[in-house]
Amino acid sequence: MAIRPRDTRPHVIVVEDEQFQRETLVDFLEANGFRTTGVESGAGLRRLVEKDPPALVILDLKLPGSEDGFALARFLRERSRRMGIIMLTASADTVDQVAGLEIGADDYVAKPYEARALLARLKAVLRRAGGAEAATPGARVRMGKCLLDLTTRRMTALSGGDIALRAGEFELLKLFAENPNRPLSRDWLLETTSHREMEAFDRAIDIRILRIRRKIEVDPARPTCIRTVRGAGYMFVPPDD
């Protein structure tokens, strides 16, 4: 009996209750090199994730049953910080977009969408996830005019010399290094680093980001490394060079 070769293509799950849209998108992604599975509800997604964890989930916001896209995005993000999540919605309301990003979605696409534009955004999310995968302890990560060593917990200027870091500043920078190009909400950053020396008030993250920018940005007044995402939080953008 011949042994079937293992399918190494990235697994993408499409969660869409409208059958024609679901099947059309599944066929398109399959034709473009992805192993793709379609489900129509949150229950189907949960069962599939247990059996065959995906690299990325395309998630419709409005779904039948007791769980909408927000609840499912929260479930997926609790399972993995590196799993890609793209939310689809017919709503043009920016409140939905901000809510999705704060929960942990990587991107947000409004219907109707052009399939090739969605494909490009899917590939971009997977590339960013690959960058997060590479930022493991032992890596050195370029941040603005500095280099952060995740093993030694030291930061050095590219021009030479150590840059002093408080423990809480290092923890924030490590989170950004592990989640490049992904908006991170203030609440999540605060909760994740609260076991450190974090000040216990609402603007603590903003004050710490201000201190970090003074150390790593070429021009702290015009930050390009740790950027503000309006209504969502902050995002680390790795340099192009």
> 99 pLDDT exceeds 70?
no
> 198 pLDDT exceeds 60?
no
CA distance 8 to 192: 33
> 145 pLDDT exceeds 70?
yes
pTM comes to 0.55
Tell me what the pLDDT averaged over the chain comes to.
Answer: 82
Please indicate whether residue 96 or residue 225 has the higher confidence score (pLDDT).
225
> 196 pLDDT exceeds 70?
no
17-26, 153-162, 216-225: range with lowest mean pLDDT: 153-162
- What are the chain's domains? 11-133 (3.40.50.2300), 140-236 (1.10.10.10)
